[in-house]
Amino acid sequence: MTARRPADSGYLIPITRPWLPPFSEYARLLEGVWSSKMLSNFGPLAVRLENQSQEYLGARYLLSASSGDVALTLAVKALGLPANSRILVPSFTFNSTVNAVIWNGHRPVFVDIDPETLNMDPRAAADQAEGAAAILATHVFGSPADVDALSLLALQADIPLLFDAAHGYGSMHTRRHVGTFGSAEVFSLSGTKPVTSAEGGLIATSDPELANRFRYLRAYGFQNDYVSHYVGLNGKLSELHAALGLLSMARIEEAVATRHRHVAAYRARLGTLLDVGFQKIATRDRSTNKDFALLFRAASTRNRVEAALADRGIQTKRYFRPCHEMPAYREYSERPLPVTESTYARILCIPLFEEMTDIQRDLICMVIEEAVSGSVRGRARGRGAVAAAVFAPPAA
Ligand SMILES: Cc1ncc(COP(=O)(O)O)c(C=O)c1O
């Protein structure tokens, strides 16, 4: 079957699509910008966005930036570590996590992930903690990393702990928002995130010195006097971006709830398939479900499902490609990361976005069921059949 594909994404069902406010609401905010002519330099909209986020997250200090990538790079810079420090990072993450370390002249030390949560494995991190100057862990797909174990490890090693919370605006751990843990947490507001300003980023921290350094760093290294106190760069969030971010943020709870509804339906239906498992999310945690991943037992099944979905015009992604295997980072690869490598061979992220319809979701499930049953022939007799260690049970 050749599916009709809309011109915008090239797919009948894209993997993600940003929720955009009615244009009139955006235009109304821009009217103020047009009359003040204040386009950037932390004007009223950027300040409002920071205040709104600070209050929502319960963060002590909250500063905006031009992107998550820049905010991560500046967050690492703000730690003020000696050159060539060893920083523990996952390989199963987006490239920015690793770039932030290397751009600052440090050395990423790749740590394997937990096979169920897909987040940095705190035991693997502990094994490599000697000589490490910091930890930078990602909340993968918005599911909080093991915040407690990593915090303990950082405390024992007396090193800072950063979180790449790019996917985590709206995530929670023990009733506290992501954004209140570690030395600092960094969010992305890019177009693929549940909250978006088209491009943008945020840092949340309780450390006044770190916040102050970040304030300088995101503005070329100076404040009003044009005297650089740090080697900064232009990391400013423009008013045009802040306007969109404000409207998007105002409905974060709705965004998370809609994604949860879709995820619950995916898990209920696909969780009965023999070959399919999901990322495990601790009961005390809330994920934004920035992405929804299927974890297959066999790479061959993943490949077949991927091909079947592509054939129907349904977009998927193999998030994340292991960084330690990429040309730019290979020189930092000190050891194999078996869980990361095995996960990448079997994972597939399928469409999840707020305006996805139940009919679209059902179609996606149907295609997956057909493709899986091509090899598995049938469904599990019960959930117990898929309760192997790497397969997390569907959420209740
Ligand atoms: C885990 C992670 N970190 C950092 C980033 C970079 O954020 P941005 O695109 O806002 O620069 C992304 C972007 O998708 C990401 O997925």
Q: Note the pLDDT tens digit of each residue in 280-321.
A: 999 999 999 999 999 999 999 999 999 999 999 999 999 999
Residue 346 burial by Cβ neighbours in a 10 Å radius (0-12, 13-18, 19+): buried
Q: Are 142 and 192 in contact (CB under 8 A)?
A: no
Q: CA–CA separation, 127 vs 132, rounded Å?
A: 11
102: in domain: yes
The per-residue pLDDT for 391 is: 36
| Closest ligand 1 atom to Cα of 93 | 1
- Give me the sheet containing 184-188, strands edge to edge: 61-65, 201-205, 184-188, 161-164, 132-138, 86-90, 107-111
pLDDT tens, the chain, 396 aa long: 444 555 456 899 999 999 999 999 999 999 999 999 999 999 999 999 999 999 999 999 999 999 999 999 999 999 999 999 999 999 999 999 999 999 999 999 999 999 999 999 999 999 999 999 999 999 999 999 999 999 999 999 999 999 999 999 999 999 999 999 999 999 999 999 999 999 999 999 999 999 999 999 999 999 999 999 999 999 999 999 999 999 999 999 999 999 999 999 999 999 999 899 999 999 999 999 999 999 999 999 999 999 999 999 999 999 999 999 999 999 999 999 999 999 999 999 999 999 999 999 999 999 999 999 885 444 443 333 333 323 333 333
In terms of Cα–Cα distance, which of 207, 211, 204 is closest to 52?
204
Last residue of a domain, one of 188, 219, 249: 249
CA 71 to ligand 1 centroid distance, Å: 10
**Could you list the residue range(s) of the whole structural domain that residue 153 is in?**
23-249
CA 70 to ligand 1 centroid distance, Å: 9
Residues lining ligand 1, Cβ inside 6 A: 67-69, 72, 93-94, 96-97, 138, 164, 166-167, 188, 190, 192, 201
The per-residue pLDDT for 301 is: 97
- CATH code, 224: 3.40.640.10
CA 102 to ligand 1 centroid distance, Å: 16
Is the same domain home to 185 and 274? Answer: no
| Closest ligand 1 atom to Cα of 190 | 10
7: in domain: no
Quote the number of domains for the chain.
Answer: 2
391: in domain: no
Other C-beta atoms closer than 10 Å to the C-beta of 366 total 12
Other C-beta atoms closer than 10 Å to the C-beta of 39 total 12
Instruction: Tell me the backbone φ, ψ of residue 139, rounded to 5 degrees.
Output: -90, 90
Is the same domain home to 231 and 311? Answer: no
Tell me the two tokens of residue 365.
């499930």
| Closest ligand 1 atom to Cα of 72 | 4
Pocket test for ligand 1, best of 64, 66, 69 (most atoms within 8 A of CB): 69
Is the same domain home to 169 and 70? Answer: yes
The residue contributing the CA closest to ligand 1 atom 8 is 68
In terms of Cα–Cα distance, which of 288, 301, 292 is closest to 269?
292
CA 225 to ligand 1 centroid distance, Å: 32
- CATH code, 371: 3.90.1150.10
Is the same domain home to 114 and 29? Answer: yes
Is the same domain home to 283 and 225? Answer: no
Is the same domain home to 257 and 227? Answer: no
10: in domain: no
Greatest CA separation for the chain: 70
Last residue of a domain, one of 217, 249, 281: 249
Q: CA–CA separation, 311 vs 105, rounded Å?
A: 44
Q: How many CA atoms lie within 13 A of 148 on its CB side?
A: 7
Is the same domain home to 243 and 256? Answer: no
CA 321 to ligand 1 centroid distance, Å: 14
Is the same domain home to 222 and 315? Answer: no
Tell me the two tokens of residue 98.
């690793």
Helices 338-346 and 299-311 pack at an angle, to 10 degrees, of 40
Is the same domain home to 177 and 94? Answer: yes
Is the same domain home to 243 and 318? Answer: no
Q: Is the peptide bond before 353 cis (omega within 30 degrees of 0)?
A: no
Other C-beta atoms closer than 10 Å to the C-beta of 208 total 10
185: in domain: yes
| Closest ligand 1 atom to Cα of 70 | 11
CA 208 to ligand 1 centroid distance, Å: 24
CA 94 to ligand 1 centroid distance, Å: 6
3-state SS of 23-85? HHHHHHHHHHHHHHCCCCCCCHHHHHHHHHHHHHHCCCEEEEECCHHHHHHHHHHHCCCCCCC
The per-residue pLDDT for 380 is: 43
